[in-house]
Amino acid sequence: MSLILPYNREEEGAHPPFLSPDYKATIKRSPQQPLIRIPQTLTEVTGPAGRWDRLMGPAIADLTKIGTGEAIGQRIVVSGRVLDEDGRPVPNTIVEVWQANAAGRYIHKKDQWNAPLDPNFTGSGRIITDDQGRYRFYTISPGAYPWGNHYNAWRPAHIHFSLLGPAFATRLVTQMYFPGDPLIPLDPIANAVPAHALGRMISRFDIETTQEAFALSYIFDIVLRGRDATPMED
Amino acid sequence: MTGQTPWQTVGPYFHYALPWKGGADLVEGRGDAGARMDLVPDGHYTLNPNDHPRGVAKGQIVTITGTVFDGDGTPIPDSFVELWQANAAGRYDSPDDDRAELALDPDFIGFGRASTDADGVFIIRTVKPGRVPGPGNSLQAPHIAISVMARGVIKRMVSRIYFADEASNTEDPILDLVPPARRATLLAVPVGEGQYRFDIRLQGEGETVFFDV
């Protein structure tokens, strides 16, 4: 018999509901039955930490230098820490990021809106957090872009983040927004999150870590589910 | 205490960032399995660029094929299924599974991603997992933990794949929490030697059971 140290549950009221009808694609893609709550078993408290290179290849921490030349746009450095609710660092977490280019267009073939592609910008990267939970990558500031959700709908500039901490239970996909973006209050995806928690997805500009004559710095700390205090017998 | 960062959807454009080539073949990591190379322009594929050669995982090889459907019964082409499972001996390749008496398989990690194709179909090639402990003194039936993500899915939908022809399902402590009438949505059905069918219905009639973990 071994002890299972379960993780905290999803924080009540911090995450968007599956059915968030202002984001129209959720209407037919959200469950109608209630979720069935299950205890965390060995399945949910384990994960493939340390295997990322073997699965996906080496880290990519500079998205501006994927092509033969440099990506066009405002160069930025994005950094932060991955923490749990008690402020403890979450090391060895894979942080996968993807984004549109400076004109607001994704390299993805399905993105056909009329803005230029940049042959020197792919817009995807991945970083493993260090022993203090820190990550950092260079990229260019993504543009806003229109989408078909409703008349004159524009997504605020954002970077997609996908994280997997030590366990299946510590999975998170989110989007990082930029401070002061006037499109944020109009965006159905960001505003599917309860208002008091929306600010947790907005990075902050930081002059201290802005790099002289090189790159503006944005800081984005991410909080994953941490360990519950009380062990369960397994 | 600080609050958890909220979930957001992966959106429609994750294919050049998340599902790597070979990610849906947990046995050998072969070929393009799991990726959507048709959606990534030449010169812009950055995942698993070396196509790491590996050996063949130990165990009974199974192929699981399914379609992801929305509430209208329409297949979803912009989704993926993320997988986590134990190896054939019932051991997780994780620092948090310290049961040294069960062997790790150097050729098996147990984590994967399978994109749906233009017809909403995903194909997973893996080994049937061994049984792992459950609450109390229970043993769980062989299962694969899955997260379903897609455009329009604003946070992951967690479920499990069990095997319909597995006798130990009747003893499984997690299946036991599911109303009997809905358990079939969690069972991959044998359709041939080593071949299984597992459809995922996000909404409506026959809706797949999703878990709060």
Q: For B159-200, how does the pLDDT look when each residue is reduced to its tens digit (9 = 90+)?
A: 999 999 999 999 999 999 999 999 999 999 999 999 999 999
Out of B6, B15, B212, name the one closest to residue A200 (CB).
B6
* B184 Cβ contact partners less than 8 Å away, ≥ 6 residues apart: B164
The answer as to whether B188 is a domain residue is yes
State the nearest Cα–Cα gap between A180 and chain B, in angstroms: 19
Is B18 inside a domain boundary?
no
Choose among B153, B38, B167: nearest CA to A108. B38
Q: Could you say which of A155, A177, A218, A227 is catalytic?
A: A155
**CATH number assigned to the domain covering A3-233:** 2.60.130.10
Tokens representing A98 are 């993807």
How does DSSP assign A136-154, residue by residue? EEEEEPPPPEE-TTSTT-E
User: A-chain residues within 8 Å CB-CB of B135?
Assistant: 39, 41, 232-234
Residue B95 in any domain: the answer is yes
Structure-token match 């493939």, residue found: A48
Q: Which domain holds residue B66?
A: 37-201
Name the DSSP class of A91: -
Classified as helix, coil or strand, A214 is coil
Find where tokens 């809106």 sit.
A113
Give the pLDDT band of residue A1 (cuts 50, 70, 90). very low
CA–CA separation, B54 and A194 (whole Å): 45
CATH code assigned at B110: 2.60.130.10
Written in H, E and C, the secondary structure of chain B is CCCCCCCCCCCCCCCCCCCCCCCCECCCCCCCCCCCHHHCCCCCCCCCCCCCCCCCCCCCEEEEEEEEECCCCCECCCEEEEEECCCCCCCCCCCCCCCCCCCCCCCCCCEEEEECCCCCEEEEEEECCCCCECCCCCECCCEEEEEEEECCCCCCEEEEEEECCCHHHHHCCCHHHCCHHHHHHHEEEEEECCEEECCEECCCCCCCCCEEC
Record: contact A67-B43, CB cut-off 8 A: yes
Can you tell me the mean pLDDT for A128-136? 98
pLDDT in tens, A26-36: 999 999 999 99
Give the pLDDT confidence of B79-104 residue by residue, as tens digits: 999 999 999 999 999 999 999 999 99
Q: Is residue B84 part of a domain?
A: yes
User: What is the structure's pLDDT at A187?
Assistant: 98
Q: Would you say residue B14 lies in a domain?
A: no
Tokens 């820490």, located at residue:
A81
- Rounded-to-integer distance, Cα B23 and Cα B70, Å: 24
